[in-house]
Amino acid sequence: MVGTEGEKAVDIRRLRVDTGYVAYDQGYGDTASCESAITYLDGDNGILRCRGYPIEQLAQHSNFIETAYLVIYGELPNAARRKDFGMLLRQNAAIETQMQRIFEGFPKDAPPMAMLSSIFASLAAYYPHLATNDFAKDLASFDMAAAMAISKVRTIGAMLYRYQSGLPYVFPKQDLPFCENFLHMMFSEPYKEYVAVPEVSRALNLLLLLHADHEQNCSTSTVRMVGSSAANLFTSISAGICALSGPLHGGANSAVVQMLQAIHDDGDDGSRFIQAAKSGNKSNRLMGFGHAVYKNFDPRAKIIGKACDDLLKKLGVNDPLLDIAKRLDETALKDDYFISRKLYPNVDFYSGIIMRALGIPVSLFTVVFAIGRTPGWIANWHEVASTPKGRIYRPRQIYIGPKRREYVQMAERP
């Protein structure tokens, strides 16, 4: 098989039937699990395109909601479509009073991603007419469910922050754009409304846009896998949120800042940490470095590294963690360990520093990543749901457990 951009693949769909063999590919690193028309990624050359548009162009000219529309519907919206989409997002921003009570059932110090995935999954319970677990019916109400997912994941994110901080909820405002509304719900006080300066809303837009979709990463493949059972959009995305929470995936952005903070508190210039990272021990990895598919550079990291510098300069913020990050970046890029293993900064290396400058607490970084990734999850769920004759995702395995043996009564067991 040959993809649009010339990627070559071997079609092994009849391998087991014809030969009795299965293909072994732990972690699916060399396996294409689907055909997809959403995102093109060439990890060797640092290329990322959404629906054909280079990420650099989207970052420069677009914003999060326009890119979300592009990712989901395949084309950039014209003015009328953009307006309708914006209207649907605004109409679906609020969390109903009954649903708000779910927040209070969680401990104040619950992991935010655990709260986000549970509360998000509950959308299937509150809006069962949009989540029937029947592809034909769920596709018929897709526009509404998609808008709800994008708008409410952001509101839930802000509300869980307020709840965990012991602050009263701030509800979405109809007249605010998407990112400004998130910041308003996060940071407004009873008699003092938070008004985002343009640099801040631009930085948040960029951050979310860069995360909008990223091909078959762990969480997106999870969404596809769950969706392939005909599970509805909300349930499938909730599974994606769980997958994103791990430190090797979306959890890396907070791990980076924790790592930079630990280096700072130790009074280390980063060299001790780099030395430890080279031990090969998984728990000492240089967080924000390396990528499963980018083996040259992560184009998102280039964009975000520069945006980070610009934002901090414009806001007049002097963050010692940025200096440490830059030192680590320079040192690692000259070190043979990192060069020979093709380990470069990934999108998470600088995104945490931007979020710090925006006032977002470290505990919420991965929640912000989830808000950004929701359009990609939606688009991938839609692709699965609308593929004619799509089959349930069900890989094989190589069994390496005990051979057949006979049941032993408890009294006779050693």
Taken in order 404, 407, 408, 410, the sign of the CA dihedral is positive
Contact 346, 143 (CB under 8 A): no
For ligand CMC, the nearest residue by Cβ is 290
Owner of token pair 């801040």:
200
DSSP conformational letter for 42: E
- Both structure tokens of 126: 């509150």
Least spacing, CB of residue 291 vs ligand CMC, in Å? 5
Q: Does 380 bind ligand CMC (CB under 6 A)?
A: no
Q: By CB under 6 A, is residue 356 in contact with ligand CMC?
A: no
Residue 217 interacting with ligand CMC (CB under 6 A):
yes
Encoded amino acid at 160, one letter: L
**CB-based contact 196:45 (threshold 8 Å):** no
Q: Is 228 in the site for ligand CMC (CB under 6 A)?
A: no
- Identified catalytic residue from 138, 213, 298, 348: 348
Site string for ligand CMC, 284-313 (x = CB under 6 A): -xxxxxxxx---------------------
Query: Among candidates 126, 130, 65, which has minimal Cα distance to 374?
Result: 65
Interface with ligand CMC, residue 341, by CB under 6 A: yes
The one catalytic residue in 214, 291, 298, 329 is 291
Cβ-contact 220, 237 below 8 angstroms: no
Say whether residue 351 binds ligand CMC (CB under 6 A). Answer: no
How far apart are alpha carbons 373 and 347 in whole angstroms?
A: 13
Any contact of residue 329 with ligand CMC (CB under 6 A)? no
Q: Which of 31, 30, 33, 42 has the alpha carbon at shortest distance from 4?
A: 42
Binding span for ligand CMC by CB under 6 A among 99-107, 111-119, 173-181, 282-290? 282-290
The region of 183-191, 194-202, 277-285, 305-313 touching ligand CMC under the rule CB under 6 A is 277-285
**Is 264 marked active-site?**
no
List the one residue out of 157, 101, 94 whose CA is nearest residue 363: 157
280 lies in the binding site for ligand CMC (CB under 6 A): yes
The residues of the shown chain that bind ligand CMC, judged by CB under 6 A, are: 214, 217, 248-250, 252, 277, 280, 285-292, 341, 343, 346-348
Q: Could you give the residue numbers annotated as active site?
A: 291, 348
